[in-house]
Structure 1
């Protein structure tokens, strides 16, 4: 690490300690390591590119990813960019990588999952301003469409309930509903394109997509559905259970707990993008 003045070093000591752990991990594994803890939105790309700009494409790259999901198109852009910067891509999931984050995992050569790690259905998230008018909030496209359909049915049976459902769905407009339907219809194509990003043969992509469509797209009724490492392996994904006693996982866990303590976790108040040479915390 470069020298800094005492005050500057003190003000940023937590960041330097995390980056020292990242460097230690890289020395142990021989792979680059970057960290992304955030919702997946189009603004992710510029900050991600900052972490990748000097990656060695001849080396493996590990991504510690924790995300509740977000925009599937951005997830596809992310995994394509990651794959261009490395020999093999491993996505490490200490907590959750849902929906659009699962799309990123589909494009990896390896998915390393912690004991509490899980993937989720490919259920696009519709992004809008939260109650404070500033922070971006997300809602499941499948759940938006289902809620509106249920409201329509109930109003047909009981027209007097219109006012109640209009109030309950006040944050949902017709444009959002149509966007949600369009995003759902695009889910299968996004899944296939993510599978191709890893360099699989077309026959393997088609076979995997056929096997994944039911559990990842059609069957789940809730965005919160859990897909464990065992499920992922059964579906044919390159997932493996982390050896929690290994030095590699001990370093990952020490790093992850620091992010958690900062408020950086899937539904937390802060986001972070970090590598050995760059750090952006929101």
Structure 2
């Protein structure tokens, strides 16, 4: 029988450098003790390179428990959102997504795969409007990108002298980006169905009915990526949405966590991405 390893003690400087991380993880554990659910946090754009960070959070979880995901995101790639929804659902008995702030575009698609969506007082979803990522990392609405390029081409064809007015726009956009944006827009309805299918206990008939109810308000009607879809609207569409009780102990923990991430410069304040649970933590800075 081998002797157990001597516990490793952390140095004072190391503790000081990571004390805020430990404080956040303590809040995660206290929330878990209160609710009996696993809690993880994802604050980031949604693209394929995020999957490993998310899997790091999910890997040690007990899948016989409910899973709560605290989510804030401007959106991104809808195909990745489907992968995330399926991965989350495979690690729990039921999935609740907590919205202290915004979950737009692909993040809205991700929420459609949840068994429950809890809106904080300032939480909202948005249109299912795919986001394209420029080489410099900034995002552009696929719908707005296609419309802007089409309008620029139309005006330049009618009056070639207007080309300098659109030169900056066209210099940033490649034909590959435009075709990817068109494809993403064409896939929006299918992505909604795929995400709805990931939720626990939804029948094929449930998915078809919800997808039909969501087609107009999430895909066809919105004219702006920044359109706001609150809890009452979400409920009226048939989504499993509910308003958080801001006076509850559960929301007190979530809001305390959110303010700490906000202070780190996380979305929507800045470009810092965060993946955190009680046993894993990644703070990704540009």
Q: Distance in 1 between matches of 2:268 and 2:46?
A: 11
1:15 alignment partner, one of 18, 21, 41: 21
Residue 165 of structure 2 aligns with which residue?
164
Per the normalisation by structure 2, the TM-score is: 0.94
- Listed as ranges, the matches of 1:68-217 within 5 Å are 68-130=74-136, 136-199=137-200, 200-217=202-219
- Cα separation, 1, equivalents of 2:271 and 2:168: 27
Query: Alpha-carbon deviation of 1:22?
Result: 0.3
- In structure 2, runs of 5+ residues without a counterpart are 1-7
Q: Where does structure 1 lack aligned partners over 5 or more consecutive residues?
A: 131-135
Deviation of 1:119 (Å): 0.3
Q: Which moved more, 1:146-155 or 1:194-203?
A: 146-155
Separation in 2, partners of 1:265, 1:163 = 34
Q: What TM-score, normalized by structure 1, do the two folds share?
A: 0.95
Contact kept? 1:68, 1:267, Cα under 8 Å: no
Name the CA distance, whole Å, in 1 between partners of 2:254 and 2:186.
Answer: 36
Q: Identify the residue that residue 233 of structure 1 maps to in structure 2.
A: 235
How many residue pairs match? The answer is 276
| Number of the residue aligned with 2:61 | 55
**Cα distance in 2 between the residues matched to 1:59 and 1:212:** 30
Per-residue CA deviations over 1:198-250 (Å, capped at 9, x if unaligned) read 13100000000000011111111111111111110011100111100001001
Report how far residue 267 of structure 1 moved. Answer: 5.3
> Which residue pairs with 1:248 in the alignment?
250
Maintained 8 Å contact 1:91/1:111: yes
Instruction: Write out per-residue CA displacement over residues 69-111 of structure 1, whole angstroms, 9 at most, x where no aligned residue.
Output: 0011111000100000000100000000001001110000000
Q: Secondary structure at the match of 1:237?
A: coil
